A and B are shown apart, each in its own frame.
Chain A
Amino acid sequence: MATDRDKRAEILDRVRALGGLTPGVARQVARDTGVAEAEVFGAASFYHLLAEPDVRVRVCTGLSCELAGAGDVLARARAAGWPVGTCACLAACDRAPAVLHGRDTLAGIRPDDVDRAAGDWRALASSAVPERDWRGDVGPAGAPADRLACDLLGEPDWSGSAFARAAQLGPDAVIAEIDRAGLQGRGGAGFPAAVKWKSVRSQPDGDRFVVLNADEGEPGTFKDRELLLRRPDKVLEGLAIAAAAVGARDVYLYVRGEFGAPWRSLERAIARFAASGALADTRFHLHAGHGAYICGEETALLEALEGKRGMPRLKPPFPTEVGLWGRPTLIHNVETIACVPAIVQRGGDWFRALGKTGPGTKLYCISGHVRRPGTYELPLGVTVDELAAAAGGYVGELRAFSPGGASSGFLPARLRDTPLDFRALADAGSMLGSAGVVVLNDTADVVAAVANQLRFFEAESCGQCAPCRIGTRFLRQALDRFRAGAGRGAALAQVADVAWQMNEGSICGLGQAAPLPLVSALRHFPEEFADG
């Protein structure tokens, strides 16, 4: 029998099944679930894939897609009279420009593809690359598997041998290996994984959960997509090991709504493990997101799983103590959890030694002005030049790079020797974040790139707290005024105060980081903002 909790958790999926938030849908879902009609409406209206049911095709407005001509694709689709809109980064920066078609991301869509579809937006899917080809370039080619934790090019391993080894070791020994490995959260914060595992494990008895954060949405980041497409075995096995270690049986996988192909990959992998029983009685629950970048923030993700508006919670308390449905919850990014099987198999010391300036390898995404955009598993702490070399080298001369998604701001070429790790980038006033590196060469317009990212944060702010809700908008308007010729002194006079307020006052990391693109550009590229 479905509990009230379960019914509440279902409301967003029910709105989706009814075709999105058209008039009367909230009322029907309210009738079917007992959740108040306004609550259904308020929750669904938060998610753009539900709130805009008439939009069938969305063109990615991410920086890499913009650099690759997404504007032309959008213009032609509009001219063709398609039910088209825009969306934030689709995690296809290596195959830009990308278009969302229903819930499937189509990579590498060119203006010609729009023309070829001859006015029928449905025909775009058939002219686009097939699902399998959403896999991008990964590497480094030829690296020995025993130097890689994620090993994107390796054959999937369905044996469950790491899970069996973990069962042999027992929870405490597994957690000790994770600790020894020095594994840090790969979602952006770099928090030590073992601290979370210990905390969840030490909570008083009762339900507890493991949650996978597969809401990859940080602009410039697409590594989790590759993992889900190529190595779902590692992801599920890591989750099963984590669940056993912290004493959970139920694992919730929150997969972003735009990830049609990765979702299907996970579905197949779950079925395969269920059939073999290799992961014992771990129960996997797949849960689709419905379009909201903020749900990559762990507490917003928990709210979304519970069928609510994806507004981050106040911390403390942290999810390890009060998480999903108020229970202790271990929540990890896809890449973090995918490192776990190799750590269990080869040991924490092995993992730690893989890194250069920090423990382990790291999946670096690189896009923009490089020859072979893609995902490269390299020692933690490589420089942007080393990463670019793995990606076939720069196109043109390096001018600026964004080391870890939009939230990390822009760094100038003279900081090219900074190790791409958690500490060094924080010291440089930036962050490793999701390690989604976007390269801008000497032909790029830095101010336009900043404007792109400010628009992104304004569109994706959840709106809960004033510093972020008003601040993201304020900064975007200020830069618009500057670009319209208002001059730095006048247009950007309040930027320092607003950025300070957003960083101090915002509830979550989105608002705290949202000023960074502009603030970092003002700091590192002052000539771009000279009065004139």
Chain B
Amino acid sequence: MADRNADRASGGGASLTASLTIDGERVPFAPGETILQVARRAGAWIPTLCYDPRLEPAGACRTCLVEIDGWRRLAPACATPAAADMVVTTRSDRIARHHKTLLSLYMTDHVADRDACETGAPCELHALADRVGAATDWPRMEPVRAGRPDDRNAFIEFRPDRCILCARCTRYCAEVEAVSAITLAGRGSHTTITTADAASLVDTTCEMCGGCIDTCPTGAMTEKIPLREHAPPDRLLDKVRTTCNYCGVGCQLDLNVDRAAHGGRGRVVKVTSPPPGTPPNDGNLCVKGRFAYQFIEHPDRLTRPLVRDAGGSLRETSWEDALARAAAGLRGVADRHGADALGFVSSSRCTMEENYLMQKLARAVFGTNNVHQCAAT
């Protein structure tokens, strides 16, 4: 894994010690780089489906095959190390026929209608099939892959008719999360993605990070309805980059906003990961970051200062009034019972600065060490 990260970090130019030829152009590369990495840096178009820079290359989807002089067979660019003076061809009649026939074959075993396929997530397979001019009139396969429709987990759904068995999800689960909750199972055309004994994800080691959804190129792994309540296709959503506020790591995430919802006020309809390579989280999220965004629209959410009236009911007030009432209450307790009668509890959802101020308030203003925060244990 260290090597792979070194590969990904390379390309800056410091250690480009050798060179190869891609489509007639000389391209320098660093030791350990694959043909795919070098070619993409050089601007060549090599399509991939099973490739995710966070994972060991599998070479299984076969879309990235290229020609190498002196090699009888086409080679997977994602898994073939660049070698000095290699002569690589990414554009030829043979490669074009390969792309077209491979994608035509894929599409016989996939949801044919693009709009129907893309409810919830964009489909890289459809996009690629369109781009290479795959046939749409080949006879279709009857569906055979088993799903787990009764999985009672709240977040993650597997739609077998969209799955292309690229195994990004299972490899992500094993290699990045080290969880191995899901696996390829069965053999041949019956191969599917499942869990041990086809159990619900909640009865496995799954941590509900949703990385399988993030890495899936076709939307076969997807957020469960009603998490995905939005009507418009994914491509019509705005992505707003923000920092997750569930803990102090500072993960970057993209709020997917349906601008038209709520009469134009907009609504966050799902959270997705930024692309791999985005620091600090490299496209990874946890269950809270990815799925726990519904508080944004929750009716219990406090969005204005509230105080209790004489009858004990909450009523809206101004910040000045609310802060004055809180200060008076705290002071009253300290005056009557001493500062140690107070306790201050902060949250890991606050920023570090806010947490710092909270302990300052406790210790310096009131003079008590009774201060705690949920991430402190």
Contacts and interface: CB of A to CB of B under 8 A. Distances in A.
B105 A470 contact: yes
B105 A460 contact: no
A208 B188 CA distance: 32
Interface in A456-508: 458-467, 469-474, 477-478, 481, 494, 497-498, 500-501, 504-507
A36 interface: yes
B326 to A, nearest CB: 50
B98 A470 contact: no
B102 A463 contact: no
Nearest to B197: A23
Interface stretch (A37-45, A191-199, A279-287, A428-436): A37-45
B217 interface: no
Contacts, number: 141
B195 interface: yes
Contact of A470 (B108, B183, B204): B108
Interface stretch (B54-62, B222-230, B244-252, B311-319): B54-62
Contacts of A462: 187-188, 191
Contacts of A473: 109, 141, 188-189
Interface in B153-194: 164-165, 170, 174, 180-191, 194
B55 to A, nearest CB: 14
Contact of A463 (B104, B141, B180, B186): B186
Chain A residues touching B, range: 35 or more
B216 to A, nearest CB: 16
A505 B138 contact: no
A27 B189 contact: no
B98 A466 contact: no
A51 interface: yes
A470 B109 contact: yes
B76 A314 contact: yes
Given A38-B181, A41-B196, A42-B184, A505 B205 contact: no
Interface string A141-169: 00000000000000000000000000000
Given A37-B205, A38-B182, A466-B105, A504 B98 contact: yes
A458 B97 CA distance: 24
By CB atoms of chain B within 10 A, which of A27, A42, A459, A498 has the most? A42
Contact of B187 (A292, A314, A497, A505): A292
A500 B97 contact: yes
Nearest to B189: A473
B62 A461 contact: no
Contacts of A344: none
A46 interface: yes
Given A467-B105, A473-B141, A477-B141, A41 B195 contact: yes
By CB atoms of chain A within 10 A, which of B73, B141, B204 has the most? B73
B189 A470 contact: yes
A292 B188 CA distance: 11
A141 to B, nearest CB: 42
A458 B183 contact: no
A494 B189 CA distance: 19
A37 to B, nearest CB: 4
A309 interface: yes
Interface string B35-75: 00000000000000000000000011110010000000110
Contacts of B194: 41-42
B281 interface: no
A41 B183 contact: yes
Nearest to A44: B185
B101 interface: yes
B106 interface: yes
Given A42-B194, A505-B98, A507-B60, 9 more contacts: A36-B180, A461-B187, A461-B188, A465-B60, A469-B165, A470-B105, A471-B105, A500-B101, A501-B98
